[in-house]
Amino acid sequence: MSRQIIVGNWKMNGTRQDTQVLVEALVNGLPASAPDVVICPPFTQLALVQPALASSPICLGAQDCHKDVSGAHTGDISAPMLSELGVSYVILGHSERRQEHGELDETVREKAVAATKAGLTPIICIGETEDQRESGEHEDVLGWQIKGSLPDGFAGIVAYEPIWAIGTGLAATTDQIAQTMAFLRAELVRQFGEAGKAIKILYGGSVNAGNAVSVLSIPEVAGALVGGASLKADAFLSIVSAASAA
């Protein structure tokens, strides 16, 4: 069984002082048998975090990138710029980007291509709304998101986050997660053939220290994309330890 990966998405949080304290606690508290760990601070803190992780197995990730290498794109960051800062992973297509910035599957796919060319591992987020889940449309929605968001030859990571569980304190039941993960694996194989068997699928959506062991023990769950709990060292390290135990 391949190593699990725990990704912390700090979102728009983290002053310089907060970041220094949190990173120091994570580096010093990381268990010896830890899974792969990635933290994704805001762009403003990447240059601060990178040297702090130099002697640690924790990898540095970013929360987005542009599809172009450079150009007239005010406020955007390119994949090569991230790579230059020591970034190894980049989250793409998070539901908050899709909803707040109108990102389409095509946009996410173009960003994934750019990230891969720059040597970054894309973590592509997919997920359904509460209405789509209740109406039974969620599998169709997820299938179309995979088809539209993942480029040909995709060798990155997929993160399944039911939108209704992000930041709400509500987590899908283990049965719901297991059923959806089995569907996602079958869909990846259907769309990518043999290569679809190797694509890691993370679960996200109110993952915390209390539910991490049960979530990470579900078949096909290769790790977690953690939001709010990644801002607290004790909570995040508990999830990291849960991955070791799963």
29 labelled ligand-binding: no
The residues near 15 (Cβ < 8 Å, ≥ 6 apart) are none
pLDDT in tens, the chain (246 residues): 578 999 999 999 999 999 999 999 999 999 988 899 999 999 999 999 999 999 999 999 999 999 999 999 999 999 999 999 999 999 999 999 999 999 999 999 999 999 999 999 999 999 999 899 999 999 999 999 999 999 999 999 999 999 988 877 776 899 999 999 999 999 999 999 999 999 999 999 889 999 999 999 999 999 999 999 999 999 999 999 999 877
d(CA 96, CA 114): 20
The pTM of the full predicted model, rounded to 2 decimals, is 0.96
SS3 per residue for 25-75: HHHHHCCCCCCEEEEECCHHHHHHHHHHCCCCCCEEEECCCECCCCCCCCC
Q: Is 65 contained in some domain?
A: no
Does residue 108 form part of some domain?
yes
Residues with catalytic roles: 94, 161
| C-alpha–C-alpha distance, residues 78 and 13, integer Å | 21
Q: Is residue 171 part of a domain?
A: yes
Instruction: Flag whether 71 is marked binding.
Output: no
What are the Cα distances from residue 197, in Å, to 84, 112, 157, 201, 244? 31, 19, 12, 10, 22
Number of domains in the chain: 1
Residue at 160 is within a domain? yes
Does residue 147 form part of some domain?
A: yes
How many Cβ atoms sit within 10 Å of the Cβ of residue 41?
A: 26
Q: Is 10 one of the annotated binding-site residues? A: yes
Residue 101 resides in a domain: yes
Whole-angstrom CA distances from 246 to 59, 197, 242 are: 21, 20, 6
Range of the domain at 170: 22-28+76-245
Residue 228 included in any domain:
yes
Q: Tell me whether residue 144 is in a domain.
A: yes
Secondary structure (3-state) at 168: coil
- The CATH code of the domain that includes 147 is 3.20.20.70
Element containing residue 124 per DSSP (H, E): strand 121-126
Q: Is 75 labelled as part of a ligand binding site? A: no
